[in-house]
Structure 1
Amino acid sequence: MNAMARIGRGLRGHWGWLAAAIWCSVAAPHAWAADAAPIEFHVAGGSLATVLLTIAKQGHLVLSFDATLTRGLSAHPVDGTMTAKEALANALAGSRLELIDVAGGTLTLRRSEAADQPGSASSSAHVLPRIDVLARPDDGQAAEDGFVVERSSTATRTDMALSDVPQSVGAVSHAVMTSQQATTVADALGNVSGVTPSFGFDNANYDVSVRGFQTTTLMVDGMLYESEAYPPLAGIERVEVIKGPVTLIAGGVPAGGIVDLVTKKPEFETRRTLTTQIDSIGQRSGNIDLDGTFGDGSHLGYRFVASGELDSRNYGGYDGRREFYLAPSLRYRDSSTDITLGFEHYRNRLPILPYTVGGTDGEPLPDTPLTPVSAPSDHIANESTEVHLLAEHAFGDGWSVRARARLLRDDTETFWNVPLAAFDDAGDVGLDAIDSRTVRHQATVAGELVRKFKAGGISGTLLAGVDFWRLGYAQDQSPDNPSEQNLYAPQPLATIPGGPLAPIASYVARQWSAYAQAQFAFGSRLRLLASLRHTNVLLSDPINQLDQHNGAWTPNLGVSYRLTSSATLYANWLHGFDQSLDEQTSSGAPLPPIRSEQVEAGVKFDLQGDKLFATAAVYRVSNDLAIGSDPTNPLYAVALPGQRSRGFEFDLQGQALPGWNIIGTLTAASSSVDGGNGAAPAVAPRSASLWSTYAFSHDASRGWGVGGGIFAHSHEPTDMAGFSVPGDARVDATVFYRAKHWSTQLGVKNVFDRRLYGPSEHAIYIPVLPGRSVVLTTTFDLG
């Protein structure tokens, strides 16, 4: 568990400062049109409607028009640095259409009254026409087309095409997750190179390793999200992984990178869907997604997402998964202001996964039965409630302000017999019955001032911001209750009795940060990205009587150079920081902060008219120390040699040919811990994945499609020398049919019914994954 997770997750006290900060950041008058600042556009030619919508989204404009105006028309590529309105006018050249302003800041199209001046822009106010096509400002969310994700704002805090970001960023679109019938974030992360979801002793959930460095820190919508459970995919639009030290966007976190989940928000489109999914191993789930506006042409939109799951038993015989998720949100948007207010409530009960242990030959004990080793009722339960605000307002001359805020409460209850030791190849194990409750509270608030500019041949974005994060952690646990069990002939165990609970941990942490970033574009080819952040973290631990502090400056530099319209070289030199608090040394001296460094170089490709995207990267990332138990006194901590990781990664995603979508990864890496004496646990040196779907377009087979893929990895070390999880490969396949108002998909996971093991940090706990299963998903358009 990383340092932020170790110092706890909670908040007490008054919230007045938070409300004041939010109000001040959004209570500015509407003073300008968002297109005033020049932007660098690289929009491929194509249908006029598609080009116009792409420009409007990238330029943060609200554009609506009657689809009959653009039917059958095409536009040339729009390439260069200009305002969004200038880009739209260029796209309209020769179309005999003109751009006009509508009251309220919306733009629309009409037939040009002057036939000799097509593609012009008019500032006179008009009535909004019938809306057939609507584009809205992009708010930093990726533009998605099938499997490809074109843009993101997470890695740099500024909206950029992924091909221009001088850093490796993995992104998994909603279309990919849907086509794979994914059920968890871990499923989605299998499509990103260098990323491994792994299981620890909280086995119903999972941690994530990025480039060999384990992290339990998660971001949602660009803010830290301190919860034991990942939100369900029903509320997730896409999954991003920012690789390398990410102190600029997250503060003190591990060196390898971080996962950011982008949630579903109001999209100002009328869309209502109901989805159900069942499988052959007992999972039953459903979700509803309602998206719309309060009236035609309204600037106020809503999104309502709800999902649930109720299973009787999991494939290991434990009492089944139960889940309820509710996420309503409201969004106000016009040409200069964008405010989203969201609420989320998530409650789940996760059964224990069946598992085996490492044998004396270093491999998992074979053929252990998929029956409960402990009580069938063993589980981990989680309940979280969260409210968040995202706000942005644009002033004149390229100035804008942004605000983000989150309040979160998370409760976790653990009832399960944790494996403590493996005794022999006969399958004897020692267990300890755990009954504990953990409560976390989190508050986050951040504000940024942004300035877009153009001076001669140089354009760019300057950004300065501050953020504050406060959390606390309280854990109560019952006394140890050891027992013995045999994996091959398990005897039924009684349900763990509740209580009595006693406090074992309680602390509060605060993090203050200030940062600045400068992004420069020199012409249309060269980009430079530089940033500097100072982070302070304070910990107060009344149980251990600790008051500790860490702080660090972290400079970063990245550069990208566009070789051609489809190839971009990039390199970066990044620095990170992870605090070392909540640790005591035998001498009483504080441990220094953990500092990290990454050097990375790569090339990015935009192919097939920006429909196919690829990244190839080589990297070296390291931190200067690790924290472990003092060998002379295990009750204290000591600084150990740091971790090193280097490797090659390749990612490919998008549309290879009409109807043929593909996403694939390749990773070849090495990592070392403890001064080179060991390898990072649960991280495979070699891994690859390939998933592809094809939708038939001939009249006789229109609507039908097929898909399939393979997910493979080499052996994965554990925390015990000589013990590892063997390499394996899983093959999945699917067939689907899509009609106008409904779709259905039948998939088979683990087609060859192989015995697969989950990546594990510990040799005494190796999860056994499901065998072959059949999954049926049906989606209805509710109109």
Structure 2
Amino acid sequence: MKNGSSHARRLRVAMLSTAALGLVLAGRVTPVFAQAVHTFEVPRGDLATVVTRIARTAGTPIAFPAGLASGRMAGPIQGSISVQGALAQALAGTGLQVAPGPAGSLTIRAATGPSAAAAGGDVAAIDVTDEAAANRYGDVGFQAGDVGLGSRIPNAPAKEVPITINTITSKVLQSQAVTTATDAVQNVSGVSIGSSSGGATAFTIRGFTVSDVTVNGLGATGFGNSGFTQIPIDEVERVEVLKGPTSILTGATTRGGGINITTKRPTDRVIQDVSVRYGSYGYKTLAFDFGGPLAGTEGLTYRFNLSGNKADENYAGYRDAREYLIAPSVQWTDGSTTLLAGVRYSEQSRSPIQYTFIPRLGADPNNPIIHIPRGTTQFNPNLHYLDQTMAVFSEQSHDFGDILGMNLVFNNKIRYETSANDINSFAWLGSRAPRDPAGNYNARQVNSKYSFNRLVEQFDLTATYDAGFARQTSKFSVDYKTIDLSQSTNNAPITSINPVLGLPQQALFRPENSIGTAYTTVNGTGLGYQYLEKFDTLDNRLHILGQVRYDDYRYRNGSGITGNDRASVAKPTGISWTAGGAFDVTPYFTAYGNRSAGFLPTYSVNNLTGLTAEPEQQDLYEYGGRFFLLDKKLTLTLSYFDLRATNVSICDAILGCNFVQVVPGQSSKGVEFDIQGEIFPGFNIIGSFSSTKVKYESPLFSLPFAGTPQYTASLWGSYTIQDGPMHGLTLGFGARGNSNSPTNYGGDTSAFNVPGYVTADAMIGYDFDRWSLQFKINNMMNKYYYQPSYSANYIGIGQGRNFLFSAKYSFQ
């Protein structure tokens, strides 16, 4: 039989068994070998993961249907015993038993009643060595498996990809009890969350501002504002950060890197979880996560996520934050064809963070930032960011099998979303009138309304040829995207406010659009063509990756009191590419490097020429190494990067970002360190450190690069007691922070330092039977700190000490 066909079957079975939680290791053994003694160090966990580790340690194929493992806990399994002895400990009290399976494998069945086959059918053995089958990406605890949807090669093991892609797994999200996916990215080196006045979260990755976030690999970079939707945490499976120019995923690149959120999908594993959370400021959540096979059908599975949360107020004193989510999806597969369809509706009313500023004149040179006590509400406690988003999405794939010696697979993903945003916020102006009372500064309320419709589609045709000594993967892709966005903004009259007291308060500014309303419209389409090659050879030790793509954009940008007073039409095109390789020097160390080039179109007007600014160009060199330690349960990544951007557009200090000043370039160089995985049974860590230096290349811009700290660091560890009367008890502790970061007023010549900070968090949890309980304290020392800021009139104040209690009950 041809190798290409055999490889295709292994890939198909791997995808199916991922959701079913089956696990086996490569190799074939006889029942006699099931009596061989092995040394096991398997921590307590869900039954599927425990059986997974037993099989990996022993090299024994083990099969079981989805329903038998769902919702059961087992372990720890420690000591030198046989496979059957280890399984007997894992299955004790579950009503399950081990029976011989085909070809020397073992099968887990119900001890009484219907057989395992009747309950759902045995799962075929799959060839896995460094991956777990307990989820679709092979993540094991804190350690990531495949690169996921942060690239166009989602099934490739991370060690084979010569690009830095960091992953925050679902276990990390659970351990840290994060309530937003954006908080999770602070685990990654070179990434920090900064202050942004627009209501959308802004990140810094490798020194460059990033505001676009893709969902399941689909995004629309290059079309300006991406809306203000945040994916609710109860729908998030993992978060991926792709470093450097991101043309491999989005065509038009994002500065410094990109963030991809992977959401939960239909699964063969029966899921019936109910979660509740209660925290500071009256924060309350009720969430349901249901999934599994649809009864009476074959190959049809579903996932249904429903959640709602509400808070009395936030740490800044703004009231009535709330969020609602409904996200059903269904998937059908017959082994070669897979069809997925789903809907996501979310409604969010987020409260503004608390922020302060530096006075434009008369600032204290030693302490220039105005110190505002936490909880001091400015203008009105009902300021809010209201977002309503509906997304409809579908995926189709078909494995054509062996055609002319190659395995051919077709994939198509499409998402349409529509969103409406209503924002009531305010802005510090940083100035004061001579007659203003002492301590008062000018500010005003701002009301903005956004609406947008967006369609994104990705088509891939993948051909895989396996010659035995080498494997070649070729991918041909076509991307299409379109967006229609409109915005209206009204500014209230300037008011003198005492920021320390928050007085005087005002009525909420809710004007009707009038002659003073400023409008912005963006209409655009983009079409991209991509060719990607991945070549694996030398006993699968050398991995070469190359991709090139051409993108053609057409969009129209209008602004003014009608939205069309100042209109510009742009037709940017560009070629982007990536070339790199990874080599397994030893089974425990992989060296990699790449060079990437990307471009970022802009729809803003060059304020010197009056024409649409030319696209920004980016060029990256990156080198690194991945170390696989402690029986490959711990991954350590060290990398160096040199990223340069030319023809960079900077928002006009007075006219805003519809008009830009073009500078020759910016450069960013640095080193990054990431570590994640298991130190010893039950003890998991995730940590990072980065040193980044960013500067303008033009002598006309001598100011430090605003909003970018040179050093960032984070560390989180958790330990679960493995045996004894306290087994299942988990303790967690961590800290994160960054060094000082510069900020300024854009066009001004003065620069200021925003002080760095370090905060510490702690957690205690307990798993027993079907319950999982957790109590988390954030910012234990109640540190008062500022976030890095891109502008001196918007410096975020970090949240003080707060707590969150969560409980989850699994019915299965």
Do they superpose with TM above 0.5? yes
Distance 1:777 1:93 in 2: 36
**Which amino acid in the other structure matches residue 157 of structure 1?**
R
Distance 1:96 1:664 in 2: 34
Query: What residue in structure 2 maps to residue 103 of structure 1?
Result: none
**Which amino acid in the other structure matches residue 38 of structure 1?**
H
1:451 to 460, 463, 469: 463
Aligned to 2:625, the other structure's residue is in SS state strand
Query: What residue in structure 2 maps to residue 380 of structure 1?
Result: 385
**Which amino acid in the other structure matches residue 309 of structure 1?**
N
Distance 2:522 2:35 in 1: 63
CA distance change for structure 1 residues 492 and 320 in 2, over 3 Å: closer, same or farther? farther
CA distance change for structure 1 residues 609 and 718 in 2, over 3 Å: closer, same or farther? same
Does 1:768 find its partner at 2:797?
Answer: yes
CA contact (8 A) 1:644 1:673 kept: yes
Query: What residue in structure 2 maps to residue 292 of structure 1?
Result: 292
C-alpha deviation, 1:582, in angstroms: 3.1
Aligned to 1:149, the other structure's residue is in SS state coil
CA distance change for structure 1 residues 591 and 98 in 2, over 3 Å: closer, same or farther? closer
CA contact (8 A) 1:166 1:559 kept: yes
1:696 to 721, 729, 737: 721
Query: What residue in structure 1 maps to residue 705 of structure 2?
Result: 680
1:213 to 208, 230, 240: 208
Distance 1:378 1:317 in 2: 10
Distance 1:467 1:494 in 2: 48
Query: What residue in structure 2 maps to residue 198 of structure 1?
Result: 194
Query: What residue in structure 2 maps to residue 396 of structure 1?
Result: 401
Distance 1:40 1:561 in 2: 26
CA distance change for structure 1 residues 369 and 706 in 2, over 3 Å: closer, same or farther? closer
CA distance change for structure 1 residues 454 and 161 in 2, over 3 Å: closer, same or farther? same
Query: What residue in structure 1 maps to residue 759 of structure 2?
Result: 730
Distance 1:175 1:641 in 2: 44
**Which amino acid in the other structure matches residue 368 of structure 1?**
P
Query: What residue in structure 1 maps to residue 250 of structure 2?
Result: 250
Q: Deviations over 1:344-382 (max 9, x none)?
A: 011111112222223432642235352112111111111
Distance 2:179 2:60 in 1: 46
Distance 2:786 2:263 in 1: 30
Distance 1:456 1:781 in 2: 45
CA distance change for structure 1 residues 608 and 499 in 2, over 3 Å: closer, same or farther? same
Does 1:637 find its partner at 2:653?
Answer: no
Query: What residue in structure 1 maps to residue 236 of structure 2?
Result: 236
CA distance change for structure 1 residues 110 and 33 in 2, over 3 Å: closer, same or farther? farther
CA contact (8 A) 2:18 2:134 kept: no
CA contact (8 A) 2:425 2:447 kept: yes
Distance 1:62 1:770 in 2: 38
Does 1:714 find its partner at 2:736?
Answer: no
Q: Which structure 2 residues correspond to residues 20-31 of structure 1 after superposition, within 5 A? A: none
Query: What residue in structure 2 maps to residue 568 of structure 1?
Result: 590
CA contact (8 A) 1:275 1:779 kept: yes
1:360 to 344, 360, 364: 364
Query: What residue in structure 2 maps to residue 433 of structure 1?
Result: 445
Aligned to 1:702, the other structure's residue is in SS state coil
Query: What residue in structure 2 maps to residue 8 of structure 1?
Result: none
C-alpha deviation, 1:285, in angstroms: 1.6
Distance 1:477 1:690 in 2: 41
Aligned to 2:159, the other structure's residue is in SS state helix
CA contact (8 A) 1:217 1:253 kept: no
CA distance change for structure 1 residues 536 and 583 in 2, over 3 Å: closer, same or farther? same
**Which amino acid in the other structure matches residue 499 of structure 1?**
P
Does 1:539 find its partner at 2:555?
Answer: yes
Q: In angstroms, what is the RMSD of aligned CA positions?
A: 3.5
CA distance change for structure 1 residues 131 and 605 in 2, over 3 Å: closer, same or farther? farther
1:616 to 611, 620, 638: 638
C-alpha deviation, 1:531, in angstroms: 0.6
CA distance change for structure 1 residues 451 and 758 in 2, over 3 Å: closer, same or farther? same
Distance 2:736 2:296 in 1: 46
Q: Deviations over 1:185-229 (max 9, x none)?
A: 2220111111112121124x4111111111211110010163312
CA contact (8 A) 1:92 1:119 kept: no
C-alpha deviation, 1:258, in angstroms: 0.4
Query: What residue in structure 1 maps to residue 70 of structure 2?
Result: none
TM-score by length of structure 1 reads 0.84
Q: Which structure 2 residues correspond to residues 205-354 of structure 1 after superposition, within 5 A? A: 205-224=200-219, 226-295=226-295, 298-354=298-354
Does 1:507 find its partner at 2:507?
Answer: no
Q: Deviations over 1:282-310 (max 9, x none)?
A: 32122111111112783111111111111
Aligned to 2:312, the other structure's residue is in SS state coil
C-alpha deviation, 1:496, in angstroms: 2.4
CA distance change for structure 1 residues 678 and 504 in 2, over 3 Å: closer, same or farther? same
Distance 1:213 1:260 in 2: 17
2:620 to 585, 589, 598: 598
578-587 or 383-392, larger mean C-alpha shift: 578-587
Q: Which structure 2 residues correspond to residues 71-150 of structure 1 after superposition, within 5 A? A: 118=104, 128-131=117-120, 134=123, 141-150=136-145
CA contact (8 A) 1:682 1:759 kept: yes
**Which amino acid in the other structure matches residue 430 of structure 2?**
A
1:578 to 594, 597, 600: 600
Distance 2:611 2:313 in 1: 50
Distance 1:227 1:73 in 2: 59
C-alpha deviation, 1:482, in angstroms: 1.7
Aligned to 1:182, the other structure's residue is in SS state coil
**Which amino acid in the other structure matches residue 802 of structure 2?**
S
Query: What residue in structure 2 maps to residue 741 of structure 1?
Result: 770
Query: What residue in structure 1 maps to residue 676 of structure 2?
Result: 653
Q: Deviations over 1:470-518 (max 9, x none)?
A: 0011012235422120112222422324222246111201111000001
CA distance change for structure 1 residues 365 and 133 in 2, over 3 Å: closer, same or farther? farther
CA contact (8 A) 1:378 1:415 kept: yes
Query: What residue in structure 2 maps to residue 46 of structure 1?
Result: none
Does 1:752 find its partner at 2:752?
Answer: no
Aligned to 1:186, the other structure's residue is in SS state helix
Distance 2:248 2:61 in 1: 47
Q: Which structure 2 residues correspond to residues 167-186 of structure 1 after superposition, within 5 A? A: 167-186=163-182
1:548 to 555, 566, 570: 570
CA contact (8 A) 2:383 2:425 kept: yes
720-729 or 746-755, larger mean C-alpha shift: 720-729
Query: What residue in structure 1 maps to residue 427 of structure 2?
Result: 418
C-alpha deviation, 1:260, in angstroms: 0.3
630-639 or 240-249, larger mean C-alpha shift: 630-639
CA contact (8 A) 2:281 2:312 kept: no
Distance 2:541 2:752 in 1: 49
CA distance change for structure 1 residues 715 and 332 in 2, over 3 Å: closer, same or farther? same
428-437 or 236-245, larger mean C-alpha shift: 428-437
C-alpha deviation, 1:464, in angstroms: 0.3
CA contact (8 A) 1:383 1:412 kept: yes
Query: What residue in structure 2 maps to residue 123 of structure 1?
Result: none
CA distance change for structure 1 residues 156 and 261 in 2, over 3 Å: closer, same or farther? closer
Q: Deviations over 1:264-322 (max 9, x none)?
A: 00121111111111123332122111111112783111111111111112122211311
Identity percentage of aligned residues: 22
Q: Deviations over 1:112-164 (max 9, x none)?
A: 78xxx7579xxxxx995544875899899521211111112434412211111
**Which amino acid in the other structure matches residue 710 of structure 2?**
P
CA contact (8 A) 2:557 2:603 kept: no
Q: Deviations over 1:737-760 (max 9, x none)?
A: 101211111121111111122232
Distance 2:531 2:446 in 1: 46
2:480 to 451, 468, 472: 468
Query: What residue in structure 1 maps to residue 14 of structure 2?
Result: 57
**Which amino acid in the other structure matches residue 521 of structure 1?**
D
TM-score by length of structure 2 reads 0.81
